A and B are shown apart, each in its own frame.
Chain A
Amino acid sequence: MTYFARKFGFFLATLWAVVTLNFLIPRLQPGDPAEIMVKRMAGKDAALDQAQVEAMRAMLGTPTDSLWHQYISYLGELIHGNFGLSYTYYPFPVTEVIAQAFWWTVVLVTIAQVLSFVGGVVLGAYAAWRRNSRFDSVVTLGSTFLGTLQPFWIGLLLLYVFGYSLGWFPTSGGYEEATPGWNWPFIQEAVSHAFLPALALLIVTPIGWILGMRNTMIMNLGEDYIRLAKAKGLPDRDVALKYAARNALLPSVTGFALALGGVLGGAILVETVFDYPGMGRLMGEAVEQKDYPLLQALMLLTTVGVLLANLVADLLYGVLDPRARRAEG
């Protein structure tokens, strides 16, 4: 049990450190932090844009209070989800802007990641079990080939062929005119818009899982406990699943949790190519527009996502591998 408690404690401590650093860094220099931040992003010589400074100040708080007061009120704002106003979408609060994009990304990328993972691991395991068979060669060579292609390029190709040339799928956006919500027309539109970006992800993402799983599994197949399982006269299926795959899966599961945490990073490219209204595209915009409050909130969100994913990975590993629990316990 202490293993889990410790991992959770570690998560909380890191989270606190991240949040606090996020507070401290802009305040370390003398002067009005809001102005400094805006200047830094706009370049030294550009004229100060007062709207930007206002947006920044709404987020950073009043510089006249004592640092301690500022910190307390910063934490308070955070807890209430108040990240200030977006400059790009002025005067909408950052939280609202993000909330609109959030589900698009989460649904698209999560579904694509989960499918990629499950498919990749199954293919990789089967290829390893039947190694040197035709199936194995096709899978291995195929993945290696696809792996050499740029994901960006695959996205463009899909967009060109199925979007512009054939016209089977829409080429941008998340939906057309239906009202968002649980109604049939909207769901139809959402699915058809998500199809190509998801396909692009589904072509690129499983490659790592396939090759990784195949390698670990082949390594594990040489282990004594696999030989012993065969010597015990267990059916092939049991040896493959309960002995070989069960062990080979461990590193992949951790990797998967981490990959989910990095969803936002992976989303930028696809969402930009397909002009998909998710957080990835938003991040791209925020960088381009130098929308500091928005960028900062997205960064904080990403960091929390990665930390959470780490926590989940650790906890999962602890559940799946009894050795991990003790090794540090």
Chain B
Amino acid sequence: MTLLDVRDLSVRYEPKASRPLDAVQGVTFSIEPGEFVGLIGESGSGKTTLGTALLRLLQRPGRISGGSIEFNGTDITSLPEDELRSLRWRDLSTVFQSSMNSLNPVVRVEAQFRDAIEQHSSLRGEAVTRRIRELFDMVIIDPKFMSAFPHELSGGMRQRVNLALALALDPKFILLDEPTTGLDVVVQHSILENVRRLQAEQGFAVLFISHDIGTVLDLSDRILVMYAGRIVEDQTAGALLRRPLHPYTKGLLGSYGDPREETVKITYVPGRPPDLSREMTGCSFAPRCPERIERCLETDPPLLPLLGGRAACHVAHLQHEEGGAGPHGEPKRGFEGPQFVKTADESRSALANEVVLSVENVSKVFERRRGFTVTRTEAVSDVSFELRRGEVTALVGQSGSGKSTLAKMITGVETPTEGRIVFHGPDGDKLVSGFKGRALRDYRSNVQMVFQDPYSSINPAKRLGYVLSRPLVNYQGLKGEELRERVKELLERVALTPAERFINRYGYELSGGQRQRVIIAKALAVEPEIIVADEPISSLDVSIRAEILELLNDLVKENDVGILYITHDLLSARMLSDEVIVLNNGKVVEKGPTLGVIRDPKDDYTRTLLDAIPNPF
């Protein structure tokens, strides 16, 4: 019997301050017992809303506005909370998106297992403790952490604990909403391996939500693709990879490249998803679709069976009906959108450029005083490398490997304990650690940082015109018309066009990708020689990542800046960088031209990082 049967489900948000929007629109699908189903789509497509509705956890202003959810033969769409409660956690459990906060911060972890277990089973006392210990074993965490408080666990451990909690009562169904987003690739990989193994052993069904198609393909039996509140494609993972039906799926697949190729090519879907609070006629993907035909703008394509799966696309269905020989031609495998290409040749020539920064045998020791004991941590030890103009060097490693400390020394925020950093600037060679006051300020105008979190690094309450004019006024003393022209030029440079439209907008009105562009524009304002980009794309959607990478790449080529690209992800390092430096525990374990390192890694740690890249190919 089908475990979860969702029919025509719609969810509507009716916020007080803005127009109502239908975040989920007539979604129909089902999940069989023990099936692992992936749900993929860019952020804002309604994945979390759908998942939350399935668990009947929607909060105001959201509500189920139509359709039904049947679980194990029971219609739970409007089941009273009292009756629902006995199904909760015993049958349906979950690991939330950003579940860093999903444990009660002031209660020990054990108690948060105990209340759920005692609520739904007859286990008590020692038996509960035994069960919790067993669960900790399943997710490979030392049971001594049972008595810890949530903040005493690392991000990865907390996520494992959440997973263990979800398994506590042997549920039939678990909803995993981006359970590993925001964690290191290596940690992500091991947690997902863990999920896969447990699912195989215990046979629960999973709905796995993610915006990363690589991971979803890696794990799922079947995949649902969601766009603008609807399911647009539903196929088994194998079929979807071999023969994607919907152009949006093709676009998502195109954002993955094989890092081992001589030339990596990734495509991305240009533009943004539609505003769900406005009426639309025709296909909601049409404005971004390279395969669009007349009909797409007039009628909305329904989700219909096709080739053993389902797809909501006029062209896909027409091509099938015509057998590939009609006016609509053969089905295409790829997405004919903008491309980002990185060739090995480019890298070779970039590595011959003039050196702009040299890091020579640099170490950094932090001393922490606690009472009378002093603990010494060597965050960076004996690191040397060179950064060239018009070149990108990637600094790759897990969190805690010393990447950010190195970045701070390069930007003059921290001083090396040993070794030296030399900036080969327009006024000759200068020692970075010697900068103070004015000299430091001048240096900072040559070296700019772009941070990980675009949400916290620009003031959301200021207009973009103001945000961008600040550095221009401070460092270059521009004013009036000249200032305004330069601000517009910067906006255009990062493709926030037309500039007039953006100049008066506020930070909070922008999407994550747009904010990251503003930050890059701000960094460019002072015409730096070096940009240090610390995980600039890790909080962004896959399709937006490609755009930002492209933008950074153009900057390198056109402006001769050197970029130090800091990341935990070797795949993105391959797309952008010419040279890669792999850091582990503050030491350089491997260094060389990116392609060479990826094709033929010498160090075990590099290999671990490589294995962590989801590989659907």
Contacts and interface: CB of A to CB of B under 8 A. Distances in A.
Contact of B120 (A225, A229, A233, A326): A233
Given A227-B96, A323-B149, A326-B152, A233 B104 contact: no
Given A227-B102, A233-B88, A247-B104, A322 B151 contact: yes
Nearest to B101: A224
Given A242-B115, A322-B151, A323-B151, A231 B107 contact: no
A233 B94 contact: no
B115 A223 contact: no
B106 A246 contact: yes
A2 interface: yes
Nearest to B118: A234
A49 interface: no
Contact of B116 (A224, A232, A246, A250): A232
Interface in A40-74: none
A117 interface: no
Interface in A215-243: 222-225, 227-235, 238, 242-243
Given A225-B102, A230-B88, 10 more contacts: A222-B59, A223-B101, A228-B94, A230-B57, A231-B92, A232-B116, A233-B119, A238-B115, A246-B104, A322-B106
B102 A224 contact: yes
A321 interface: yes
B89 interface: yes
Query: Interface size class for chain B?
Result: 20 to 34
Contact of B89 (A2, A223, A232, A326): A232
Interface string B79-91: 0000011111110
B12 to A, nearest CB: 19
Given A233-B88, A233-B89, A323-B151, A242 B107 contact: yes
A268 B377 CA distance: 55
A76 to B, nearest CB: 34
A2 B98 CA distance: 32
Given A232-B88, A323-B151, A247 B102 contact: no
Given A224-B98, A243-B104, A234 B149 contact: no
Contact of B105 (A225, A227, A228): A225
22 contacts: A2-B371, A222-B59, A224-B98, A224-B99, A225-B104, A227-B96, A228-B94, A231-B57, A231-B88, A232-B89, A233-B84, A233-B85, A233-B119, A234-B119, A242-B104, A242-B107, A242-B115, A246-B104, A247-B104, A322-B149, A322-B151, A326-B152
A242 B106 CA distance: 10
B58 to A, nearest CB: 10
Contacts of A234: 115-116, 119
Given A225-B105, A323-B149, A326-B152, A231 B89 contact: yes
Contacts of B86: 233
A320 interface: yes
B93 interface: yes
Query: Interface size class for chain A?
Result: 20 to 34
Contacts of A231: 55, 57, 88-89, 92-94
B103 interface: yes
Given A247-B105, A250-B106, A326-B151, A232 B87 contact: no
Interface in A238-292: 238, 242-243, 246-247, 250
B96 A233 contact: no
A228 B57 CA distance: 9
Contacts of B92: 231
A22 to B, nearest CB: 32
B106 A247 contact: yes
Contacts of A228: 94, 96, 99, 102-103
A46 B106 CA distance: 61
Interface string B112-147: 000110011000000000000000000000000000
Interface in B37-96: 55, 57, 59, 84-90, 92-94, 96
Contacts of A321: 105-106
A82 B152 CA distance: 49
A321 B59 CA distance: 28
**For A227, A231, A250, which residue has the most chain B Cβ atoms within 10 angstroms?**
A231
Contacts of A322: 105-106, 149, 151-152
A2 B373 CA distance: 13
Contacts of B87: 233
Interface in B558-577: none
